[in-house]
Amino acid sequence: MLEFNNVSKEYHVGDRVIKALDDVSFKINEHQFTVVLGPSGSGKSTLLNILGGMDRPTKGKIKFKDQFVNELNDRDLTIYRRKVIGFVFQFYNLIPSLTALENVAIAAQLTDNDDAAVSYLQDVGLKERINNFPNQMSGGEMQRVSIARALAKKPQLLLCDEPTGALDSVTSMKIVKILQDIANNTDTAVVMVTHNPQFEQYGNQIIKLKDGKVELMTHKDAVLVGEAE
Ligand code: ADP
Ligand code: MG
């Protein structure tokens, strides 16, 4: 579905050059749950932002289906972000003055179709909470709203940057299970970035980053969440 070919990203800070990504290559396929693992500063967010068309590489190619994302102009890159990509962030980024339902509906422009928005919230187990505001929900519930919001756009690729970074371990496992189910059972491939090695086993592609380089890449049948100890 998507290929990252020899991608590098440099940032210039004063007279220093920071190599945030250094010659990184991998592929993402349908029904794949990719876990990107690495310590803070290893380039995980940079990788995800380039995948999502929020940032451009210094070198290298990103090919989505038949189009080279690195060659798109700003307008077409915006369309790519809107149509292809869903984003989930560590701190949810919900609109505080809108209910769960309204947050999902407005992002997907489902404002005339509450049923569709309700069904996305139902899919993440939040049917009872649709009329709650973010400050009436737990962190795990807010993260589930943000996943429902991203899915309502029917993205082909769901990109999650430290989605469990602010959650306790039990709640984190629930979120990872939801992401794994989406990858396995829908047409949306999922990439999850984390610094927590505990989640490595749940991916079927694991990319370990260190200092902007791929240190190790593995493919396997993922352990299903719930079957793990
Ligand atoms: P991670 O998400 O793994 O913590 P990042 O991708 O955020 O890592 O950062 C990788 C490296 O690039 C770090 O050294 C970081 O300081 C640097 N970096 C990231 N974004 C910028 C930026 N906009 N300007 C300068 N340096 C940046
Ligand atoms: Mg980061």
CA dihedral 163, 164, 165, 169 (to 10 degrees): 180
pLDDT at 113: 73
Residue nearest to ligand 1 atom 21, measured at CA: 11
As given in the structure block, the two tokens for residue 50 are: 């380039």
- Residue 49 CA, closest ligand 1 atom number: 6
pLDDT at 34: 97
- Residue 209 CA, closest ligand 1 atom number: 3
10, exposed or middle or buried, with CB in 10 Å at 0-12, 13-18, 19+? Answer: middle
Residue 141 has pLDDT above 90, yes or no: yes
Mean pLDDT of 127-139: 96
Residue 167 has pLDDT above 60, yes or no: yes
Model confidence over 60-82: pLDDT tens digits?
999 999 999 999 999 999 999 99
Mean pLDDT of the chain: 94
Pocket of ligand 1 (CB under 6 A): 11, 13, 18, 20, 38, 40-46
Measured in Å, residue 145 CA sits from the centre of ligand 2 at: 21
Measured in Å, residue 187 CA sits from the centre of ligand 1 at: 31
Domains of the chain by start residue, with CATH: 2-219 (3.40.50.300)
Task: Report the relative pairing of strands 2-13 and 16-28 from DSSP bridges.
Answer: antiparallel
Cβ-based neighbours of 76, under 8 Å, separated by 6 or more: none
Measured in Å, residue 130 CA sits from the centre of ligand 1 at: 36
pLDDT band at residue 111 using 50, 70 and 90 as cut-offs: low
Measured in Å, residue 121 CA sits from the centre of ligand 1 at: 33
Please state, for a pLDDT cut of 70, what percent of the chain lies above it. Answer: 98
Considering the entire predicted model, what is its pTM?
0.94
Mean pLDDT of 43-56: 96
Model confidence over 89-101: pLDDT tens digits?
999 999 999 999 9
Residue nearest to ligand 1 atom 6, measured at CA: 43
pLDDT band at residue 5 using 50, 70 and 90 as cut-offs: very high
